[in-house]
Amino acid sequence: MNNLVAIVGRPNVGKSTLFNRLTETRQAIVDDESGVTRDRHYGVSDWIGYNFTVVDTGGYVAHSEDVFEAAIREQVIISIEEASVILFMTDVTVGITDLDDDIAGLLRRANKPVFVVVNKVDNNQLLNDASVFYSFGLGEIYPISSMSGSGTGELLDDMVKKFPEPEEETESTGIPKYAIIGKPNVGKSSLINALIGKTRNIVTPIAGTTRDSIHIPYNQFGQEFILIDTAGLRRKTKVKENIEFYSVMRTIKALEESDVCMLMIDAAEGLDAQDINIFHLAAKNRKGIVILVNKWDTIEKNTHTTKVFEDEIRQKLAPFNDVPIVFTSIPDKQRVFKAIETAAQVFANRSKKIPTSKLNDVMLEVIEKVSPPSIKGKSIKIKYITQLGGVAPTFAFFCNLPQYIQEPYKRYLENKLRENFDFTGVPLTLYFRQK
């Protein structure tokens, strides 16, 4: 399973800069459009073969000075509960503040690996100043510059030692697991209740009433699977929880436990930046994906409404937009079972194995029609294709000059695989190897 790394600390210590450094080489979930920065909190990264999801808690702090301390405290408590590893970030140029001491106190009582990251250490004098942070009593300190990247290698080397050994991907033999994910209050619990025919979860119009990730076995109407819902009663804690932050932490965990993610969005709000973040995270984790547009009964419609809505969603999800979209209304039980049937089809697509002979018959003809463009006067020849083992469809293309295959041609081959073998709802991985 993927590991969850939370970056915590007071404002302006460089959490977002470190987050961007950890995730940028893995194409972090980012958007140049103004106004979406507050939704850009989590991305996927890896280091020496270990995969992990990074959560930048800074983005979740309300932008009002008087609530900073309460919001940060909430997020540290949630991180202690949910994350595999916590990076406690401080600023050497400011030293230790009261808020740093408060956070350190919470982390000392946590039964989680904590790394004290001292940021903005850009010269030897500042390196000496960093030693004051040993006074937290949290063990080794890691002086870094998140801006230049110095020191981050040592930090990551030690951090991944706290993860379980990476497991070889093995094919799923159990019952399919479908996670119902999405922002708070889009109707996830209502969908569960409609499917199982009883009020399994408390459902109220207040966003965030859903609390713990639960697994619900389902075996009716010829379908057998496990539903993973980020649902249950909200536990009482000493702090008023930061709902958005908690929701994201739980979503990541539910997503990683699943085979297929049913991403539910609110028809009235459309697909927003946070939904797109969740979608990309599911795709990065190579999960099957179905989009559920819920509360469709609340939308005024004409003959073109569905088509226009679908086109808008696919445009926002490009380049990977070969995903099924189901329009649901839970109170009317509209297309509830269609959603489940679609998830089952996506699971089948994700588990699909193409015989090597058929794969080569089809794809070598495709390659012959449109060959890879020559690079530096060198002709690229793809001779053989095979599907590799594992839980998600992965293909190896053997060729003479794999390093020269360009991104547009990779997309062309992926589109042709989808066209010929139906991988709707499933991210594909293509490798190019020396023959």
**H/E segment holding residue 194:** helix 188-196
Whether the predicted model's global pTM rises above the 0.75 cut: yes
Nearest residue to 132 via CA among 93, 162, 167: 93
Q: What is the 3-state secondary structure (H, E, C) of 329-351?
A: ECCCCECHHHHHHHHHHHHHHHC
* Peptide linkage before 319 cis (omega within 30 of 0): yes
> What pLDDT shows up at residue 236?
42
Nearest residue to 202 via CA among 181, 249, 211: 211
> What pLDDT shows up at residue 267?
95
Handedness of CA 72, 74, 78, 80 (dihedral sign): positive
How many CB atoms sit inside 10 A of residue 423's CB? 21
DSSP letter for each residue of 423-435: -TT---EEEEEE-
30 in Cβ contact with 147 (< 8 Å): no
Statement: residue 152 has pLDDT above 60: yes
Confidence of residue 333 (pLDDT cuts 50, 70, 90): confident
Give me the mean pLDDT over the 179-202 stretch.
78
How confident is the model over 193-220, as pLDDT tens digits?
A: 888 775 444 344 444 434 446 788 888 8
